[in-house]
């Protein structure tokens, strides 16, 4: 039988993330929900209630008493259930590793129980806390040293479309599951703040490792992408990065907004909600509009709302979405464009290139 100190322990966090090593997170579900890593799956040692019980005992009577309670809670039935779940995970991901919060008692207990079944599976030294610290430091280093080129442009100019055509880019909106405007939320939930930050840090880590010295394109974003907040160091890096300005005709911008925020979104609602899609989508559109009523002013808000209510009915009846266009035109010219014009005056970073999408892609590929 293996002694605990003989069981394998991994310490190279960079290698874990660069190689997308599968990770078995044995923390409680509530901890996992607050944030983990892209390759992690929650297969807990303790459920939420057990974790809370042991935490209370630890505060009241100390570590030994908490350990005793943990052993008491680990009945033969509970133990068999946990081991069964871990075995299933390990069969699927034999080259993975396990971790808990600090790489301490929970991961060691998991590793020992597995070893008693003849399964040797490595644990990650320092656990979640050490890996999280590593990624925070990775992001800080990237924000100071990674060469960025920021794509700026008015709403509907196609910044994301261009970004995804480039070879070296970081898609913050993709990571945030949000299109970055009042109407940018989708049927899919946004990740936890920590999950977003960890994923972005890993993107930077991989780019620096595999494409060292190569500039990374990134979209110009405000502080918030939906409910996800950009870390201050990343905000600062975007603000000081040199820019390219993407220009597009007004009618093309209107049609792109119609496509992205009405047609594509409606299709997502259909796939997700089926027969309930129409009323849910109508609420989604009108509720988003209501969020900016104060900034639009009641008269403009009410006018656009009336147009869109009629547009929703016509769209569901005939598939014609053109009734949305006048409201989109108003939002672009009277709300989003003035906001962009103001924000662009707050930047003093150099402009490297300016023009349409095709020209920008050609210029970027020539670098």
Q: What is the CB-side half-sphere exposure of residue 228 using CA atoms within 13 A?
A: 30
DSSP 190: P
Query: Is this prediction's pTM over 0.95?
Result: no
Token code pair at residue 313: 């009915």
Which residues, in sequence order, are CB contacts of 238 under 8 Å at separation 6+?
148, 150, 218, 220, 221, 230
In the chain, domain spans: 4-133, 146-365
Q: Which of 152, 133, 143 is nearest to 231 (CA)?
A: 143
Taking the C-alpha atoms of residue 175 and residue 80, their distance in angstroms, rounded to an integer, is 37
- Which pLDDT tens digit goes with each residue over 80-116? 999 999 999 999 999 999 999 999 889 999 999 999 9
Which residues participate in catalysis according to the annotation?
100
The H or E element containing residue 352 is: strand 351-355
pLDDT at 2 over 60: no
Region of poorest pLDDT, from 4-13, 275-284, 314-323: 4-13
Confidence class for position 5, pLDDT limits 50, 70, 90: low
Question: What pLDDT is attached to residue 142?
Answer: 98
pLDDT at 329 over 60: yes
**What pairing do the DSSP bridges indicate for beta strands 148-153 and 97-99?**
unpaired
- Which pLDDT tens digit goes with each residue over 168-195? 999 999 999 998 888 888 888 999 999 9
Give the CA-trace dihedral at 45, 50, 53, 59, to 10 degrees.
10
Residues constituting the chain: 367
CATH of range 4-133; options 3.40.250.10, 2.40.40.20, 3.50.50.60, 3.40.50.720 = 3.40.250.10
Confidence class for position 60, pLDDT limits 50, 70, 90: confident
């Amino acid at each position: 039988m293996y002694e605990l100190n003989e069981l394998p322990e991994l310490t190279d966090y960079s290698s874990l993330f660069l190689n997308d090593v599968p990770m078995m997170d044995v923390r409680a579900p509530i901890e996992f929900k607050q944030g983990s890593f892209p390759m992690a799956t929650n297969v807990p040692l303790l459920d939420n209630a057990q974790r809370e019980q042991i935490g209370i005992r630890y505060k009241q009577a100390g570590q030994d008493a908490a350990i005793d309670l943990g052993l008491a809670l680990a009945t033969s039935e509970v133990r068999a259930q946990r081991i069964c779940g871990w075995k299933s995970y390990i069969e699927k991901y034999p080259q993975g590793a396990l971790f808990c919060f600090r790489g301490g008692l929970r991961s060691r207990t998991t590793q020992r129980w597995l070893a008693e079944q003849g399964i040797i599976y490595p644990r990650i030294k320092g656990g979640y806390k050490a890996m999280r610290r590593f990624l925070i430091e990775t992001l800080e280093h990237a924000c100071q040293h990674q060469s960025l080129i920021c794509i700026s442009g008015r709403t509907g100019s196609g910044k994301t479309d261009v970004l995804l055509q480039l070879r070296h880019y970081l898609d913050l909106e993709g990571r945030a599951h949000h299109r970055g405007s009042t109407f940018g939320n989708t049927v899919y939930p946004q990740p936890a703040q920590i999950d977003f930050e960890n994923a972005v840090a890993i993107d930077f880590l991989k780019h620096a490792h595999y494409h060292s010295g190569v500039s990374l394109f990134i979209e110009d974003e405000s502080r918030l992408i939906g409910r996800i907040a950009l870390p201050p160091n990343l905000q600062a890096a975007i603000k000081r990065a040199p820019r390219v300005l993407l220009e597009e005709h007004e009618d093309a911008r209107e049609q792109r907004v119609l496509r992205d925020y009405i047609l594509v979104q409606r299709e997502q609602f259909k796939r997700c909600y089926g027969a309930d899609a129409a009323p849910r989508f109508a609420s989604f559109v009108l509720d988003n509009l209501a969020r900016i009523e104060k900034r639009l002013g009641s008269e403009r808000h009410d006018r656009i709302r009336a147009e869109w209510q009629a547009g929703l009915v016509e769209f569901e009846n005939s598939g014609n979405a053109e009734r949305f266009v006048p409201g989109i035109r108003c939002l672009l010219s009277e709300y989003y464009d003035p906001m962009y014009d103001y924000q662009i005056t707050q930047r003093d970073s150099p402009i490297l290139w300016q023009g349409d999408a095709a020209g920008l892609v050609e210029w970027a590929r020539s670098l």
